[in-house]
Structure 1
Amino acid sequence: MTTKPGLHPRNRHQNRYDFTALQQANPELTAFVRRSPAGEPTIDFADPLAVKALNRALLAHHYQVKNWDIPDGFLCPPVPGRADYIHHLADLLAQSNDGEIPRNATVLDIGVGANCIYPLIGHHEYGWRFTGSEVNDEALKSANAIILANPGLNKAIRLRRQKTPGAILNGIIHKNEFYDATICNPPFHDSQATAAASSERKRRNLGLNDNAQLNFGGQQQELWCEGGEVAFITTLIEESKAFARQVMWFTTLVSKGDNLPGLYRVLQQTGVEKVVKVEMAQGQKQSRFIAWTFHNDAQRSRRASSAAR
């Protein structure tokens, strides 16, 4: 099963940014707003401070998130694309719930990051409850600060540190816990050198000098791991079998379509019941996530019905 690409219909970022509303939500954004050659308000997307101010405004205006911030050098996520993943996941969960998006779903965000972006969007849009795992202490501290700065989020989002190097689910999913889904934005480069080369290409494409700070940032664990996303997702698939009864849908972004055939082979060898690929698009950027489950259709429906009661 494959869905057609395109920004999700429920995505709040279908249209051009409303800079008047965004500046009201975050007055700091005003210092970065300028006119495009066509006379439209915009920002310099090569400026990391401008992008951070825009993200803070988007989260405040659309998702009522206050005091959002990330430490310097951490990944500054594109909000529209992250929202797309959440909305498509909602559609996937609805398929086993008589077409209705569950409002009490529990989701595990693997690598919640300093930005905590998926729980912030998912809880606001659908009331879901999140567990966010993270290996980096500074990232955990940042995510926790965002949660504490917004009353009520501490009841919807909890954080757990991954203490075992190389583990993904092991040590995070506890006994007798059940999750409707996992989400994941894996490190996609296979080495520090590959990540550096990619950053250099982006510098050139943006016309930046060698000393310029990139707008997207990213720590090592956010950008690369040995073996890249194939190795990371393969480990995720292999670990998922041990939690087959505790998770309805395991999902992860896959940045390179060429990596899919190998991952499908691993999934087949692991004995999953069903695999779904969802194509997404933001402008010219194409992305996708894959989802797999060890539950058959009847089991998924029974679980959804039980959770709805």
Structure 2
Amino acid sequence: MSLNHHMHSRNIYKDNPPDFVQLSKTYPSFKPYVKVNKAGKGHVNFRNPAAVRELAKCLLHKDFGYTVDLPDDRLSPTIPCRLNYMLWVQDLLDAVIAEKSDEKMRIIDIGTGSSCVYPLLGVFINPNMNFTATEIDEINFEYAKRNVDQNNLTNCIKVVKVDSAIKTLLRHLVEDNTDAYKCCICNPPFFEDKETRKANGKMNSSCSASNVEAITTGGDLEFAERIYNESLVLKDSLVWYTIMFGKKSSFVTFKKRFVGNRTVLSTTYEFCQGSTMRWGLAWSHTPESIDTSKIPLSPFQSFNKTKKLSKPISFYIPSQTFDDGKDLLLNILKDLSIRAKVIRCCDRSAHIGAAAFEETWVGGRQRARKRKHNGNTTVVEDNSVDGALKSNNPIFEFHIELCLRFAGQILASFSTQNHTHKESMNGLVVHLRRIFSRS
């Protein structure tokens, strides 16, 4: 099933896929790889590495004006997928609160490959992007440098040969440079050894990648862990750390590292093209420098979550009176450092606007028990709530509808307008339900 309709909204191939027949007429080198059916539609065998290589060269020239050389025995990029990644990176950088709109966006590309495709696409998308592209393989380095030179991009793309003796992926670049970087990008090798690569024939069938491109100790998951561990040392030396995974199992496992981590802001994305999907994960140690409302949601996420997000999350608050239940909820929110303001209230219903600035409910059972033990049921007025919903960059905003039902029970319904905030709000609601079930 084609996933093209889930491509990034600004991807030029989303609603305008390559016309293989026309490409074969314009570029004779591509013609041998195009088969035309009776209806006149062209087809390409994507399991043929030579076809993938020629298609990449044609698309980079036709749609971006680049002339590139690609070796026969190295990985050839699929352009629509790589473009998805770079458009997502652009969105992440747009979410950074910058002092100057025209400042350079300095990006590190870890393992740029022979095509140097991410930097090439990046500077096409945004001329303010400036790349340091690293490469450990000698052949890839020579081709990448040639591709940058022949397209006159040496002023904004620097290709760096990394000595195999260097064990770090980022630190040796960042610590030796006085200029600040905004982001790193990486598409790590899939496999941990030759046997694993050989066994996974389906993933590897159309891949001309050399072992140095396809294999790394511990596979892509350990590679991602290395980047994460270095980010713990570098911290705000980069605003965003990003990775594109080729294996969903590695993506899912790595994503768990950020669950409940209140000091790190993380987000995910799906890159779709044809019948192939890749998974992106980005994190930042400086959430205060990012406008979370601008963090993008992938079209795939939007498509799958729209129906789920249409319904609020609800539970019942046991209470003798409506005011008691409302005041108890407000005190619990205050105890969790959540700013809340009653926007509308009557005898049987209330509408509350709220903003959370950190996930204080994660690991907060001891605080809840202490609050209950102290019997704190008095609401303390806090005039600073006014305007709080739009200040200080809350990690998420939400609304609560309270409605008195029967037998003294109050229905509390939680909702948020931002898709990216749903998971955090779910965690809060689970925590609140646990507190009220014990009261």
The reply to whether TM is greater than 0.5 is: yes
Higher mean displacement: 110-119 or 237-246: 237-246
Against the structure 1 CA distance between its residues 36 and 197, is the aligned structure 2 distance closer, same or farther, given a 3 Å change threshold?
farther
Q: Aligned-pair distance for 1:21?
A: 5.2
Structure 1 residues 255-264 or 84-93, which shifts more?
255-264
Within-5 A mapping of 1:257-272: 257-260=248-251, 262-267=253-258, 272=263
Q: Which amino acid aligns with 1:231?
A: E
Asked if the contact 2:74/2:209 (under 8 Å) is kept, the reply is: yes
Contact 1:107 1:131 in 2 (8 A): yes
Q: What pairs with 1:124-135 in structure 2 (closer than 5 Å)?
A: 124-127=124-127, 128-135=129-136
Larger radius of gyration: 2
Structure 1 residue 103, shift from structure 2 partner: 7.5
Q: 1: distance between equivalents of 2:226 and 2:261?
A: 11
- Read off the aligned partner of 1:27 and give its amino acid letter: P
Q: Which residue of 2 aligns with 1:106?
A: 106
Matches within 5 A, 1:91-170: 91-97=91-97, 104-127=104-127, 128-151=129-152, 153-163=153-163, 164-170=165-171
Q: Residue 197 of structure 1 aligns with which residue?
A: 199
Alpha-carbon distance in structure 1 between the residues aligned to 2:267 and 2:75: 27
- Aligned mate of 2:286, from 286, 295, 302: 295
**Which residue of 1 is the match for residue 266 of structure 2?**
275
Task: Sort the Cα spacing of 1:269 and 1:71 in 2 relative to 1 into closer, same or farther, 3 A.
Answer: farther
Structure 2's unaligned 5+ residue stretches are 292-439
The whole-number CA distance in structure 2 between the counterparts of 1:43 and 1:75 is 18
Amino acid at match of 1:87: L
1:135 CA displacement: 0.9
Structure 1 stretches of 4+ with a deviation exceeding 6 A read 100-103, 268-271
Return closer, same or farther for 1:106/1:202 CA change in 2, 3 Å cut-off: closer
CA offset digits 1:5-40 (Å, max 9, x no partner): 920111111223124653465332233332036430
Q: 1:101 to 1:227 in 2, by over 3 A?
A: farther
SS state at 2:233 partner: helix
The amino acid across from 2:287 in the alignment is N
Q: Report how far residue 102 of structure 1 moved.
A: 6.8
CA–CA distance in structure 2, aligned partners of residues 26 and 240 of structure 1? 44
In the alignment, is the contact (CA less than 8 A) between 1:26 and 1:60 conserved in 2? no
TM-score, structure 1 normalization: 0.82
Moved more, 282-291 or 37-46: 37-46
- Percent identical pairs in the alignment equals 24
224, 227, 230: which one aligns with 2:221: 230
Distance 1:282 1:76, change over 3 A: same
1:161-186 alpha-carbon deviations (Å, 9 max, x no partner): 22235421132223323111110000
Q: 1:202 to 1:254 in 2, by over 3 A?
A: closer
Deviations 1:179-213 (A, max 9, x none): 111100001212111111223x468xxxxxxxxxx
Q: Say which structure, 1 or 2, has more relative contact order (CA 8 Å, 6+ apart).
A: 1
Match of 1:255 in 2: 246
TM-score (norm 2): 0.59
Specify the code of the residue in structure 1 equivalent to 2:185.
I
Contact between 1:162 and 1:168, CA under 8 Å: does it hold in 2?
Answer: no
Report the AA paired with residue 245 of structure 2.
Answer: V
* Counterpart residue number, 1:33: 34
Q: Give the Cα separation in 1 of the matches to 2:140 and 2:261.
A: 32
**Cα distance between partner residues in 1 of 2:101 and 2:42:** 36
Task: List per-residue Cα deviations over 1:76-115 (Å, max 9, x = no partner).
Answer: 11110010001111111112248x9977322111100111
- Distance in 1, Cα, partners of 2:178 & 2:131: 16
Aligned to 1:209: none
Q: Distance in 1 between matches of 2:102 and 2:280?
A: 20
State the match for 1:176 in structure 2: 178
Q: What amino acid maps onto 1:274 in structure 2?
A: L
Deviations 1:210-247 (A, max 9, x none): xxxx5431122221212111111001100112222221
Cα distance in structure 2, aligned partners of 1:103 and 1:48: 39
Partner of 1:76: 76
Q: 1:261: how far off?
A: 5.0
Report what 2:350 is aligned to: none
- Mapped contact 2:50–2:72 kept (Cα < 8 A): no
Aligned counterparts of 2:122 and 2:278: Cα–Cα separation in 1:
19
- The alpha-carbon distance between structure 1 residues 31 and 279, as it changes in their structure 2 partners (threshold 3 A), is closer
- Is 1:219 the counterpart of 2:210 in the alignment? yes
Aligned Cα RMSD in Å? 2.6
Measured after TM superposition, the shift of residue 133 of structure 1 is: 0.8
